[in-house]
Structure 1
Amino acid sequence: MVLKHENLFHVGVVVEDLDQGMAEFRESLGVSWRQPFFPSADVKTPHGRSTMKVGAVYTEHGPVHYELLQRIDSGLWQTCGLHHLGYWSNDVAGDTERLVKLGYVLEGMMMREDEVIGAYLLLNGSSRIELTPRSSSQRLLGK
């Protein structure tokens, strides 16, 4: 088994405006937010490799967090709404390979030079998951 329920750590939602999305979630769900961050993501897809700047923010508390992602005009984050379930992985490249063998379709990999630092995969064309290195937990969630 590649995906374990106990490794689910966030639900990713793409929003049109990060500040407005944070306010709406705060008001409707009573959540508090960590500091937003705006990394440049080097993304490798079946169509090639590109760099995209994306805004993101996680809720303060879990165990399952919300992640809001700022919509961008092209690429992986262009459609607003529920986007993915995020899982910790101790081996993103290896787990990606195992999931592809189980029928998932690799949609994109986030890269740092030649190191895989995240992956998006689809099952049945609509259920998207994200694999994130467990080693990123301190940086992303302060844990």
Structure 2
Amino acid sequence: MAADFEATVARLTEVLGYEWGPEVGGAVAVDLPGGNVAELDLRCAYSITVPRLEVVRSVAGTLWDPAGEAGVHHIGYWSADVAADAAALAERGYLVEASRPGLQGGLFFAFLRSAEGFRVELVDRAAESSLAQCWAAPPTPGGTA
């Protein structure tokens, strides 16, 4: 989560040599606890450099607001069954903070948080190939990446 998106990306580039794919995202309907649904403008950039990083623009008043948080916001995992994996984490005391329904039913993503504050994002593995374009190296002038 980045209160100052541009400064965060610039600093990670300056200090650690990270390179970035394009900023992606837009309006997303997200299911919140208590049955509430919110339309949020979720935007991020993924690093081309590995280990892969995702820098997300902050969204005030949501779990994507960095107020009072420092360090790593969450760890992301691909999941073959987001709903089942979220249920398994819930059995271990994690609480669902937000989720998004998938096109085929089930869940596209879910954010869960442990009692200690550790946050996990589960993302449907079916999205991996389309999201991979977000961290593909940009084409070089006169050639390919």
Asked if 1:21 is matched to 2:8, the reply is: yes
Deviation, structure 1 residue 19: 2.1
Give the deviation of 1:101 after TM superposition. Answer: 1.2
Residue 121 (structure 2) pairs with residue 130 (structure 1): yes
1:139 alignment partner in structure 2: 130
Are 1:117 and 2:104 matched, yes or no? Answer: no
RMSD: 1.8
- Check conservation: 2:44, 2:54, Cα contact below 8 A: yes
Q: What TM-score, normalized to structure 1?
A: 0.81
After the TM superposition, list the runs of 4 or more consecutive aligned residues in structure 1 that deviate by more than 6 angstroms: none
1:2-41 map, 5 Å: 14-41=1-28
Q: Gapped runs of 5+ residues in structure 1? A: 1-13
User: 2:37 is matched with which residue?
Assistant: 49
* Kept in 1: contact 2:108–2:123 (CA 8 A): yes
Q: How far did 1:119 drift?
A: 0.5
- Contact persistence 1:43–1:108 (CA under 8 A): yes
* Residue 69 in structure 1 maps to residue 59 in structure 2: no
SS in 2 for 1:60: coil
1:109 is displaced (CA, Å) by 0.5
Q: 2:93 aligns with which of 99, 103, 113?
A: 103
Which of the pair has more CA radius of gyration?
A: 2
Unaligned 5+ runs, structure 2: 137-145
CA distance, structure 1, for counterparts of residue 53 and residue 62 of structure 2 = 21
Q: Greater RCO between the two (CA within 8 Å, min separation 6)?
A: 1
**1:42-89 residue CA offsets vs partner (Å, 9 max, x unmatched):** 111114111100210110133x31100001112120115421000110
**Residue 112 of structure 1: how far off its partner (Å):** 4.7
If each structure's strand is expressed as a fraction of its own residues, which one has the higher value? 1
Q: Which amino acid aligns with 1:92?
A: V
State whether residues 58 and 140 of structure 1, in contact with CA within 8 Å, keep that contact through their aligned partners in structure 2.
no
Residues matched between the structures, number: 129
